[in-house]
Amino acid sequence: MLKKIFGMISLGCDKNRVDGERLLGEIVRHGCTLTDDLSEAQVLIVNTCAFLNSAREESISAILEGNGYRSGALEKIVVTGCLPEKFIGELYPALTEADVFLGVKDFSELFPALERSYREGIRINAVGTGSGMRPERLVSTMPHLKYLKIADGCFNHCTYCLIPRIRGKYVSYPMEELVEEARSLGETDELVLVAQDVTRYGEDGGENKLTELLKKISKLDNICHIRLLYCYPEAITDGLIEEIAENPKIIKYLDIPLQHCENRILRLMGRRGSKEEYLALFAKLRERIHGIALRTTFIAGFPTETEEEHVSLLGFLGEAKFENCGFFAYSREQDTPAYRLKGQIPAPTKKRWVRELYKKQAEVSAEKLRAYVGKELSVICDGIDYEKSCFVGRAYFQAYEIDGCVYFTAPKAEEGKRYLVTVERADAYDLYGVSCGTNGEKGEL
């Protein structure tokens, strides 16, 4: 049996991270060693993203840079994830630096393909040959924060998006397996539920079962808090709202990707809902869920978008007043319906619009954050920021790696524990304060 030292570079979203953790679990199960020092790795796995052209470029660059370790210990490079899943036809003959290619569901083929590559001295294309099994994960995040991927694929039909062509149709993972996986993760302060569309859980089987899943996971003693990411607006039901409002374990935070506010652009994007329906939803959420924090993302420069529609989106930010927002310039992707649309927006215009959107949202966020100055917040400590010489953590309205942080001083603080922080100042993204004590045994939000 193959006994090698493995290193990994994992790119892209948190859903891809979970897939990478399953590969790490396979490596450990086969009795092999893991290293964070890539110069020590004999086998390098590059877990790729292919959602946008920029992500594909980043993935290729990581593979080429990894190939530089061939002069040392490195013997084989395994390329896995979305890039080979979608583009293996052009990738395999061109990317000769890679020895083994795996798709998004080929966990079971990691070692058979590697062993064959070693034994026969050849490159292996194993994309699409896996059994579909989901091996036990080796968690790569901080001990107090873990992700639970509840489904794969997507059956929305957004005209700009490659995900359905890469990941296929939406498939919910069995509820019993998810509950057992959550239990197996051990003591977890924050469990983050992720999927391309969390709110569609169970619908591929004929019935939405997200609320039922939330109830079952909430009964686990090892799970303290649950955060929901990627909730599509039209699928946020009254039942889900009630569960979030009344379940003390569910963090009062929703990531609701909108992509635009103008109805004409939304129709061209293949998005459901309208500006009026979105605003009504936000009003309902804020009325029924005390203190709910809302996050969203927008695409700037979709084909045919006008300056007037961009200005309207700027106004929408001021009206909706999201706690956090992300903005992306539209990326023209082949094999998507939007690729064929006339009226493509010049890159300089898209970049300007993104800058203007970020500037407007910074004003909204700064106003929101200033309201916390002088108040106490429950903050989960994520570690130490050595550049700022203080501890760093997050309040409930801040998701890990995508929102701002709370920087605080304290006589002592431990990673994974919650602290009451008195906020002393704020900027457009972060809060700064001082803590004098912990926030209870379980860390109430």
User: Would you list the DSSP string of 356-377?
Assistant: HHHHHHHHHHHHHHHTTTTSEE
CATH of the domain at 205: 3.80.30.20
Residue 225 in 3-state DSSP? strand
Domain assignment of residue 134, yes or no: no
**pLDDT value at residue 128:** 93
| Euclidean distance between CA atoms 207 and 194, whole angstroms | 19
Residues 128/89, Cβ–Cβ less than 8 Å: no
Same domain flag for 393 and 350: no
Same domain flag for 349 and 413: no
CATH of the domain at 110: 3.40.50.12160
Domain assignment of residue 135, yes or no: no
| Euclidean distance between CA atoms 124 and 158, whole angstroms | 33
Same domain flag for 289 and 214: yes
Same domain flag for 200 and 243: yes
| Euclidean distance between CA atoms 378 and 438, whole angstroms | 9
Query: The tokens 């989901």 sit on which residue?
Result: 134
pTM of the model: 0.94
- Domain with 192, as residue range(s), is 145-370
**pLDDT value at residue 132:** 81
**pLDDT value at residue 20:** 95
Going by the DSSP 8-state scheme, the letter that residue 75 receives in this structure is: -
Convert 251-290 to b/e letters by CB count within 10 Å (16 or more is b): bbbbbbbbbbbbeebbebbbbebbbeebeebbeebeeebe
Residue 336 in 3-state DSSP? coil
Q: Which two tokens stand for residue 340?
A: 């064929």
| Euclidean distance between CA atoms 98 and 429, whole angstroms | 40
Domain total in the chain: 3
| Euclidean distance between CA atoms 253 and 244, whole angstroms | 9
Could you tell me which of 237, 159, 240, 146 has the C-alpha nearest to residue 194?
146
Same domain flag for 364 and 382: no
Domain assignment of residue 299, yes or no: yes
**pLDDT value at residue 7:** 97
Could you tell me which of 254, 190, 197, 236 has the C-alpha nearest to residue 217?
190
Same domain flag for 198 and 178: yes
Domain assignment of residue 444, yes or no: no
Residues 324/403, Cβ–Cβ less than 8 Å: yes
Q: Which two tokens stand for residue 52?
A: 């946008």
Same domain flag for 104 and 159: no
- The residue type of 9 is I
Same domain flag for 88 and 52: yes
What is the widest separation between alpha-carbon atoms in the chain? 67
Residues 146/380, Cβ–Cβ less than 8 Å: no
**pLDDT value at residue 340:** 95
Which residue stretches of 193-299 are H helix? 210-218, 238-246, 263-269, 275-288
Domain assignment of residue 138, yes or no: no
pLDDT digits over 244-263, tens only? 999 999 999 999 999 999 99
Residues 306/237, Cβ–Cβ less than 8 Å: no
Query: What are the CA-CA distances from residue 37 to residues 9, 46, 291, 297 (Å)?
Result: 11, 14, 43, 34
Domain assignment of residue 411, yes or no: yes
Among 335, 350, 370, where does a domain finish? Answer: 370
Q: How many other β-carbons are positioned within 10 Å of the β-carbon of residue 110?
A: 25
Same domain flag for 154 and 114: no
Q: Which residues of the chain have pLDDT under 70?
A: 1, 440-445
Same domain flag for 298 and 384: no
- The residues facing 259 across adjacent strands are 298
Among 324, 346, 370, where does a domain finish? Answer: 370
Same domain flag for 69 and 156: no
Which residue stretches of 247-346 are H helix? 263-269, 275-288, 307-320
pLDDT digits over 186-231, tens only? 999 999 999 999 999 999 999 999 999 999 999 999 999 999 999 9
Same domain flag for 244 and 350: yes
Among 329, 350, 370, where does a domain finish? Answer: 370
Domain assignment of residue 139, yes or no: no
Domain assignment of residue 132, yes or no: no
